Amino acid sequence: MSKKAIILLSGGLDSVTVLALAKQQGFLCYALSFNYGQRHNAELTAAKKIASDYQVISHKIIDLDLASIGGSALTDEHIAVPNTPQSGIPVTYVPARNTIFLSLALGWAEVLQAYNIFIGVNAVDYSGYPDCRPEFINAFQTLANVATKTSVEGLFIKIHTPLIKLTKADIIRQGIALGVNYQQTISCYSADKNGYACGVCDACRLRRIGFEQVAIDDPTNYQ
């Protein structure tokens, strides 16, 4: 069985940890990122650097226009990014984002004959997005193995979510043990053009708390 794997690489803390884990497990890594109309390109700049440093076999960046449908503070400039925690599903949720990302990863996996897809979703220290939960991953796993030529021919494509039950602190500990340089990553929803994080959005808050719980200096470049 092929040891090729597609790694969804956003340029953030979680996705680089997943890439490091996949490399440690001996997978031949193909990184997949998306220019989907998000507020800033700092995460894509980070993803390119990370993909280069980890010497992935190929790094593909797919252009999508999720901003054309809006509905999220990350893709619609008329919706402000909250500076305080929100109840329920926050406005930073991007409708169907992980469904779309995983679908495109599934297509590339078929082309490459790669039978493994890694995604850094987390359902412990996260913002409450429905497409980060085990229920979603289990449903997509079922879809992946009825919707493809690969599955009809009797092969199995596995969706790997190694971080889904970990706290942010646990993720950071694992990454540090793997030698991950978190200073290269960007998690912020409102980073400036130089890639400096705002320090107050939900992504920055969760990231900062994670480093505090691990009791190491937060290497994030803040505005």
Note the pLDDT tens digit of each residue in 97-156. 999 999 999 999 999 999 999 999 998 877 789 999 999 999 999 999 999 999 899 999
β partners of residue 33:
61
| Residue whose structure tokens are 């994080």 | 197
Which regions of the chain are under pLDDT 50?
none
Say which residue the tokens 């979680």 belong to. Answer: 14
- Is 18 exposed, middle or buried, given 0-12, 13-18 or 19+ CB atoms closer than 10 A? buried
CA dist., res. 75 & res. 72, Å (int): 5
Quick one: pLDDT at residue 2?
Answer: 65
Q: What's residue 193's pLDDT?
A: 82
> What phi and psi, each to the nearest 5 degrees, are found at residue 65?
-120, 65
Instruction: Supply the pLDDT for residue 40.
Output: 87
Residue ranges per structural domain of the chain: 4-182
Q: In degrees to the nearest 10, what's the CA dihedral of 215, 221, 222, 223?
A: 170
Among 61, 42, 65, 41, residue whose Cα is nearest residue 51: 61
Position 178 scores a pLDDT of: 97
Selected from 3.30.360.10, 3.40.50.620, 3.20.20.220, 3.40.718.10, the CATH number assigned to the domain covering 4-182 reads 3.40.50.620
How would you label 160-170 residue by residue, b for 16+ Cβ within 10 Å and e otherwise?
bbbbbebbbbb
Position 174: which residue type? Q
Distance CA 27, CA 9 (A): 15
pLDDT at 3: 94
Provide the residue type at 13 as one letter: L
Distances (CA, A) of 220 to 5, 137, 141, 159, 197: 28, 29, 34, 29, 7
Contacts of the segment 80-85: beta carbons below 8 A, 24+ positions apart:
81/39, 81/189, 81/190, 81/198, 81/201, 82/201, 82/202, 83/200, 83/201, 85/202, 85/205
